[in-house]
Chain A
Amino acid sequence: MKSSHCFLDAITSVVGEYQDPRPMLLGVWEADFVIKEQKITYFSDAINHDEYLERLNRLYGECAEHWYDYEQSKPNNLEILQELLHSKQDEEYLVQVDLFYLPYEIRSYQKKHMPHFIRLVKEEERFLVTDPFLDFCGEVDEKDLEDAFLLNELGGGIKLKTSNLKAPSEDEISKIFNSVFRTDNRLVTESLRVVKEGAKDRTILREGFLEIGILGKRKLSYLAAFSLFNRRTPEIENAIIMLSKGWTHLGFLAIKASMAKMKLDIDPLLQKLHQLEQSEHEIKMNLKQSYEEWMNHVSV
């Protein structure tokens, strides 16, 4: 599966070793984001992953819970984590870290603070990280990991009891699809608002869209949905990949428009957003049809 969301990529990489992980990605194309001082951002203390935790337990049986205790300090949570990693049960641990402190992600290392979920195991005295979103698997220095955990602006951690994972039912998949499917496009709506603000103050265009590529990657979760409903054709795959790249492209256009030496022109940004909205609407209608055909098939 193509990576689309760090938390869910870590979850689905664990689930995928035992069961079909695709239902976990339904609706991730519209995963939550916030606007913080005109910046569209994927992380905030106002965003949590409880919805996905609940979905995990609905789909696969009681298998997941927070190990991270939000009432406790970071050092206390580090102790909790170390004990869990030492206990070696049939559990997998997801940990939120700040990529600023992890050298394997060169674009953010010592440059940008980015809360991010990884899978973590301890083998003898080595800490092994699996990071499906960034396609990294390997040993990470203990001090780097401690910094990435203790100095993270936010915090969080999930444990999955893998022996409890059951196959998801079609009925539950259907309920989840119907609860997440929506025809409006909040990312387009909010982006339009930021672009219009950017017409008054061009610096907003640069800061506003710095994380838009990460949000654009979430559109790749449509691939899993089409695959789940048996309609992942090369044409659909291409349309989804182009949609995801289109958001990255919007980010490039916004940065360029924000430069003082360039003529400030928001029309290309407005046109791009209109195009992205149209493309995603077509994908959604196609997906809805695929789902309905799948439903007819499974209910026969």
Chain B
Amino acid sequence: MITSQQSHAYAYLKTSLAELLEKPSIAEELTEHTDLFSVGMDSVTLVNLVVLVEEEFDIFFEDDELLAEHFQTIESVWKRIESKL
């Protein structure tokens, strides 16, 4: 079952990615399992997303957590967020 916090995170991540990628329509197309690198996420987008998430959820990612596989899908990003809430 998806919690309201998880639902908020998914919506926030989709909107943020659409803005960072400058593709407004992509928010509708993203699922929690979409490979974010396959829709155009690069290293700059990833780091910008990390910083946005840190601000939105008032959390901090350690340097050694900044790995591509942790931010490959919306679900994997959520798992990182959830572990810090």
Enumerate chain A interface residues (CB-CB to B < 8 A): 106-107, 111, 206, 210, 213, 245, 248-249, 251-253, 255-256, 259, 261-262, 268, 272
CB distance from A258 to the nearest CB of B (A): 9
Q: B47 contacts A210, CB within 8 Å?
A: no
* Total A-B contacts with CB atoms under 8 angstroms apart: 43
- Closest A residue by C-beta to B64: A249
Q: Is the CB of B40 within 8 A of A106?
A: yes
Whether B63 sits at the interface, judged by CB under 8 Å, is yes
In contact, B68 and A107 (Cβ under 8 angstroms): no
Interface pairs (8), CB distance under 8 Å = A213-B43, A249-B64, A251-B43, A252-B43, A253-B63, A256-B50, A256-B51, A262-B51
B85 within 8 A of A: no
Q: Are A107 and B66 in contact (CB under 8 A)?
A: no
Q: Do A245 and B68 form a contact, CB below 8 Å, given A252-B46, A255-B47?
A: yes
In the bound complex, what is the Cα–Cα distance between A35 and B71 (angstroms)? Answer: 29
Q: Judge whether B44 and A210 touch: CB under 8 Å.
A: yes
- In the complex, chain A residues whose CB is within 8 Å of the CB of B40: 106-107, 111
Q: How many residues of B contact A (CB 8 A)?
A: 17
Contact for A255 among B37, B39, B44, B68, CB less than 8 A: B44
Task: Name 10 extra pairs, CB < 8 A, besides A107-B40, A256-B66.
Answer: A106-B38, A106-B40, A210-B43, A249-B66, A252-B46, A252-B67, A252-B68, A255-B44, A261-B51, A268-B63
- The minimal Cβ–Cβ distance linking B39 to chain A, given in whole angstroms, is 7
Contact check, B68 vs A256: say whether CB atoms are below 8 A apart. Answer: no
Contacts of B67 in A (CB 8 A): 245, 248-249, 252
| Closest Cβ–Cβ distance, residue A209 to chain B (whole Å) | 8
Q: Which residues of B contact A (CB under 8 A)?
A: 37-44, 46-47, 50-51, 63-64, 66-68
- Known: A106-B38, A253-B63, A268-B63. Contact between A248 and B51, CB under 8 A? no
> In the assembly, what is the distance between CA of A259 and CA of B46, in Å?
13
Determine the chain A residues whose CB is within 8 A of the CB of B51 once the complex forms. 256, 259, 261-262
Of A106, A206, A245, most B-chain CB atoms within 10 Å: A106
Cβ–Cβ < 8 Å partners of A111 in chain B: 40
* Alpha-carbon distance A24/B20, docked complex (angstroms): 39
What separation, in Å, do the CA atoms of A253 and B46 have in the docked complex? 11
Closest approach, in angstroms, between the C-beta of A63 and any C-beta of chain B? 36
Q: State in angstroms the CA–CA spacing of A106 and B67 once bound together.
A: 21
Nearest chain A residue, comparing its CB with the CB of B39: A106
Query: Which partner residue on chain B sits nearest A262 by CB separation?
Result: B51
A257 to chain B, nearest CB (A): 10
Closest to A209 in B: B43
- A248 to B41 Cα, complex, angstroms: 14
Nearest 6 Cβ contacts at the A-B interface: A255-B47, A252-B66, A106-B40, A268-B63, A107-B42, A256-B47
- Identify the closest chain B residue to A248 (Cβ): B68
| B residues near A255, Cβ cutoff 8 Å | 43-44, 47
- Give the interface centre of A256, A261, A268 by most chain B CB atoms within 10 Å: A256
A129, chain B: closest CB distance, angstroms: 18
Contact B38 A253 (CB under 8 A): no
Q: In the assembled complex, which residues on chain A have CB atoms less than 8 Å from the CB atom of B50?
A: 252, 256
User: CA separation between A206 and B51, bound complex, in Å?
Assistant: 15
Q: How far is the CB of B13 from chain A (nearest CB, A)?
A: 18
Bound-complex Cα distance A249 to B47 (A): 11
Within the assembled complex, what's the spacing in Å between the Cα atoms of A256 and B46? Answer: 10
- Residue of chain A at shortest CB distance from B68: A248
Chain B residues, CB < 8 A from A253 = 63, 66
User: Which of B41, B43, B50, B64: most chain A Cβ within 10 A?
Assistant: B43
Quote the shortest CB–CB distance from A219 to chain B (angstroms).
15
